[in-house]
Structure 1
């Protein structure tokens, strides 16, 4: 590393940009996962991701440029790149994406170049960052150049999935299952964005962009670079957001009285289920759970010593969170099979 004071300042500034973009992206993903029937505040995740993606890709370009030319790009080069996320990605793919004859790199390149859903979502986020964040003011002031309604575009993207999946659509009309619709739609979008960020992050951590980029990735994008197909959609980013952390968690810590009732009450039927014994896609972070059906009606699940509501009836009676709202279920997983198992008890 060059120890010229100016170079140290530039290095530190780039490191700060990468760390900032990583935090913005994580928070943006968390706010996407927070979207629900009761929270349609799309402005926040759009704002976080438009800033996070732009800063990340511009940092990528600066480091790749320096690795090739021995110096960072000048002001005009970076300014001329603009704020269009699709154009920034195209600049990376055309000039700074290093290819190896290995399946993962080929998959990454194919996804970044050809995935139409990624292009559609980047367009929405990009349009918001450039113009649409002032959409309402443009309407109020009768601006001649009205921007696109990015929230409307986002809803259209989601509806493509919703209306081609009749089973998912039907869940929207039940208080017991409506939350599953939002988890599924949000998860589809998170997976696309995770693939996008992880493909670019692998260029950092596997030394494609030089030693400086590899060093910087340790404190920022290393975890993204280590995401592979089996990992996409599993992380609960909500835990980083203020909205999630400040919401009261409606869970019940079990007591000795609860355990005695589970054993002695003939109307309480329960069963322990281990991940190792389960024949299906295990949805929980914990490796074992206990399902319980009370009076043939109220279905509850115990995870790590706390009770959660499996069905809407139990949620209403006991004022409990379902396990997904409580952060106990992987975000891309469905736990409805455990409701059926509990009812069969």
Structure 2
């Protein structure tokens, strides 16, 4: 059981931002918030639907081998989505409080001694910062110090675990985004490491230092934002140009399997908006809007964003919606803030 749980935490860390992940649907409970509003704003409607899917109004869960596990990574995606849409602030507060609980937090980050995961540490630190709290004091843990302690001499942020190092481009990018918000800023060698793993075509791979460098939409979208936050505009610009070059005629972005989907498009759209590629962002936003369940859909599904536009699948809709909100809102991770967000889970207004 210890082995399975440790591997599961790594799976969650690595796949929390991957677009192609297909999961068994999370359990759903009635929302805690009693605030009900209606909206015609697409990001707000999507975030409102997402808030109503939280288990006990505070978390997401994933079924793995028939067992329900807490999904801290997806829960943090929701926290960031609520901030991007500027709604469900009460849900965002409860969700972050849940992830920050010592037992839940350590099950995600590791205990900091025998296990410590760079990507999870950075992602939680970023969410704490987005919500205006102090990442150096999260339940008695200094996330920034722990993150810096995971930086290798090469500049790469690595995992410390008996199961090996599963760090990747997502880990590195989230680390840069979190550290960019600190007084000390991003270490030059950390930014240099990420810039150095860029493929010849301008994109970025999921896993660096491989014999063949294969650019990936999701990894590139995150790396572009991280490099821009670190002041590496040339490398960020190359990544943006690669993203534009692989955008589909429908405005969508495809995963490594060739499927245009909300997850990849949501991340790419966010990067394009933050990088000033307005027309490409507008096209990506249009694709995301085409996947959103509107008034012709079942009332319980309205506002959600489907993964690929086929038959609505709740097993993938929560993650798809969380990442689509960022693209619909067009707010980059570096600029994201929950300041001014309002409580409540808005519902899509229909005749």
Query: Normalized against structure 2, the TM-score is what?
Result: 0.27
Structure with greater strand share of residues: 1
Query: Normalized against structure 1, the TM-score is what?
Result: 0.27
Q: Per chain length, whose mean CA-contact separation is higher, i.e. which structure has more relative contact order (CA < 8 Å, sep 6+)?
A: 2
Structure with greater helix share of residues: 1
Larger Rg: 1
